[in-house]
Amino acid sequence: MDFLIFQVPMLMVQASLDGILLGILFALIAYGMALQWGVMNIINIAQGDLVILGGYIAYTMYLAGIHPAWGVIVSPIIMYFVGWALYKLVINKVVDRDLFISILATFGIAIVFQQLMNFIFGADVVVAQSEYGTTMLFDNSVTLPNSKIFSAFVSLAYAVALVIYMKKSKLGRAIRATAQNARAAKILGVDTEKVYAATFGINAALCGIAGALISITLTLHPYVGLPYTVRSFMIVIVAGLGNLPAVAISGMGLGLFEEFADYILGTEFRIGAVFMLLVFILVYRRFKLSKKREYLK
Amino acid sequence: MKQKDLILYSGLIILGLAAPYLFSAFKVQLTYLCVLIVLAMTWNLQGGEMGYNSFGNILFYGLGMYLTASVQVGMFFPLAEWTESGGEKTFVHTTAQYFQGIGVGLLVAAIIPALVAGAIGYAILGLRGHYFAICTLGLGIAAGEIAGGIEIIGAGQGFTTPPFPAEIVDPEARGKFFYFTSFIVLVLAFIFVKYIYGSRFRLILNAIRDNEDKAEAMGIQTMKYKIVGWMVSAFFCGLAGGIMGGLIGYIDSTDVAFDGREMGVFMVLMAILGGKGTLWGPIIGATLFHFFKEGLWTFILGWQYVALGVLIVVIVIYFPEGLMGWLREKYPERFGEVIDEKDRKSQVELK
């Protein structure tokens, strides 16, 4: 094998570290996906576009002269209301319906978002400079941007905070109750409509955090939302709904896969590899389940 | 009734044949319309009738497009040199070569996607509902991304399909050729779909849609029929793609061939707009959509995708049964349904 990555062992370390740090970020988006899928039973194709929108909020702050890292606080607040408005406008009409309807409706939302972002922020690839510098490891053979480490820590912090919030707070309990049985929760006095709106808002806020982190670690472009949706979908179907450690681990696994695919197949096939992985995972699960004469539900 | 049908069909065929002469300036638009109807009709076969909502039929469309162009070039000239650096200027197809090439190309473009659908069908069609939808969405986009990295078919810079032979001086010839090709494909597709609608095959597809487990329990080998259903879709998608490749004259991996953002959504939207699971629904839906698109697109330049997105949301949320579904609810007698008024009144709406 004449792949560069197998000749230079340090590149392996580089790819692994990059992959894991990136994976934590993916896991954060996937957690939002799992939350709304579990609670409201909808698949949100616009997830990735919410992420990108969150990123553009941080980027706008950067243009205004504020350090983009503050985006991890501002962006989720704005995105919460975006998510809430989106719920009130569209999502509340698809909650109880067929999943295909929610897929198609959110696909429509995704197209609108992409185009509006294209109008507002332009079709250029942009990045917000955090100027955090880089950390050199192993005799300068592995370079690690500090922004990536920062983003991983912020993601972890938010994930932990959210888990505690879901466990302890009143709203968190209401959300979990609605996820278990919406009808029973309604009978016991939970305002499910409010819970749904809050869930979608929290999901959008998580996307906002992830987007703000992506704006300083990776790049932003109006049309790159869909890969993030697919990544989070993949992580959720591998990890299952509501299993947070598994979400984190499969997120890191996906990050590793992507970094290695990048080195081995070439950067031009990176997104293609992500989508093919989705197909392979689904087909693998399907064959595994069909042995027991079951299918993915 | 039979005579009424005869008049209707012969009228439509005459209209179809006369259309390029009547609306001679809109030949390209008419070709588009034919292709859109074919796509909607065949999507409906497995999306509406079989209940397998695919976002990935664009895979076969793009495959057909690349195959037609590759065969058309590859039959006479080295493909790699053609795509490498403006080969269309060095190599020129003669008239005979062009038509031979596109003929064989379309044949290949129909058969190979159908075979691909057959080959991946067993794996993919085992997924149900939204998993199938997402998986096919992934397939379509993956195909576009991968095609964008393959050198021999032009990679990222695209693939110029052979230009229409210059020896034919008639400026109308190109438009007429593509229109009639697409019209023939449309007629073939309609005859085929119409035949399926009168057959046992459709009943089996409907059984799969309504309850696959029960259909299986009744002894139907559902997988076999699902694969055949998908192969029929793929066959016509490939043909449609081949024609569009020749018409547009330039193939880009993600913007023309595997264009999930346009064609891939259009075919789903048109079928839903007209009414899933009806013979005429997708045809009416495609025609309406095309008129809407062509009429409005130019006035809202730049905003067309926003309009498209809003249209998707509105149709899906407020109009999921489509035009035919709405008509059916309004005039059930016309669709041969008998309603027991007493029974309907006695039904209490449960919430």
Contact list in A for residue B265 (CB cut-off 8 A) is 107, 111
Contact A104 B272 (CB under 8 A): yes
Please tell me the distance from the alpha carbon of residue B58 to that of residue B257, in angstroms, as a whole number.
8
B79-129 pLDDT per residue, tens: 777 777 666 667 777 788 888 888 898 999 899 999 999 998 888 888 887
Å between A115 CA and nearest CA of chain B: 6
Chain A touched by B116 (CB under 8 Å): no
Nearest CA in chain B to A183: B351
Give the integer Cα–Cα distance in Å for B257 and B145.
11
Of A101, A112, A282, the CB nearest to B309: A112
The pLDDT value given to residue A201: 92
Partner A contacted by B328 (CB < 8 A): no
Task: Please indicate whether, in this complex, the C-beta atoms of A279 and B156 are within 8 angstroms of each other.
Answer: no
Give residue-wise pLDDT tens across range A123-148.
888 777 777 777 777 767 777 788 88
CA dist A62 and A127 (Å) reads 9
Q: In terms of Cα–Cα distance, which of B39, B91, B40, B75 is closest to B243?
A: B39
Task: Among A92, A94, A103, pick the best mutation site for testing chain B contact (most B Cβ within 10 A).
Answer: A103
Is B138 in CB contact (< 8 Å) with chain A?
yes
Query: CB under 8 Å to A238, separation ≥6 — which residues?
Result: A246, A250, A253, A281
The verdict on ipTM greater than 0.90 is no
Triad A104, B303, B305: Cα angle to 5°: 25
Q: Are B127 and A276 inside 8 Å of each other by CB?
A: no
- The dihedral sign for the CA sequence B319, B324, B327, B328: negative
Is the pLDDT confidence value at B347 over 70? Answer: no
Where do the domains of chain A lie? Answer: 24-135+145-242
Is some CB atom of chain A closer than 8 A to the CB atom of B309?
yes
CB neighbours of residue A96 within 10 Å: 12
- Given a cut of 70, whether residue B345 has pLDDT beyond it is no
CB A120 within 8 A of CB A54: no
The CA-CA-CA angle for residues B300, B305, B310, to 5°, reads 95
User: Do the Cβ atoms of A119 and B146 come within 8 Å?
Assistant: no
- Per-10-residue mean pLDDT of chain A, 297 residues long, equals 67 82 88 87 88 90 83 88 90 82 87 88 79 72 80 88 89 88 87 89 91 87 86 86 81 88 81 87 86 74
Q: Does B150 touch chain A (CB under 8 A)?
A: no
Query: Model confidence at B11, in pLDDT bands (50, 70, 90)?
Result: confident
pLDDT at B37: 92
Question: What confidence tens digit (pLDDT) does each residue in B291-334 have?
Answer: 888 877 777 777 878 888 888 888 888 888 888 888 887 787 77
Measured distance CA(B285)–CA(A153) in Å, rounded = 51
Tell me if B127 and A114 make a contact (CB, 8 A cut-off). no
Name the band, by pLDDT with cuts 50, 70 and 90, for residue B137: confident
3-state secondary structure A233-285: HHHHHHHCCCCHHHHHHHHHHHHHHHHHHHHHHCHHHHHHHHHHHHHHHHHHH
The rounded distance, in Å, linking the Cα atoms of B312 and B260 is: 14
Interstrand relation of B159-160 and A142-145 (parallel, antiparallel or unpaired): unpaired
Q: What are the residue ranges spanned by the domains of chain B?
A: 2-337
Q: How far is B276 from chain A (nearest CA, A)?
A: 13
pLDDT band at residue B351 under the 50/70/90 scheme: very low
Q: How far is B185 from chain A (nearest CA, A)?
A: 29
Q: Which residues of A touch B270 (CB under 8 A)?
A: none
**Is the pLDDT confidence value at B24 over 90?**
no
Size of the A and B interface in Cβ pairs below 8 Å: 124
Which residues of chain B does A104 touch, with a Cβ-Cβ cutoff of 8 Å?
A: 268, 272, 312, 316
DSSP string of B89-148, one letter each residue: HH----HHHHHHHHHHHHHHHHHHHHHHHHHHHHHHTTS-HHHHHHHHHHHHHHHHHHHT
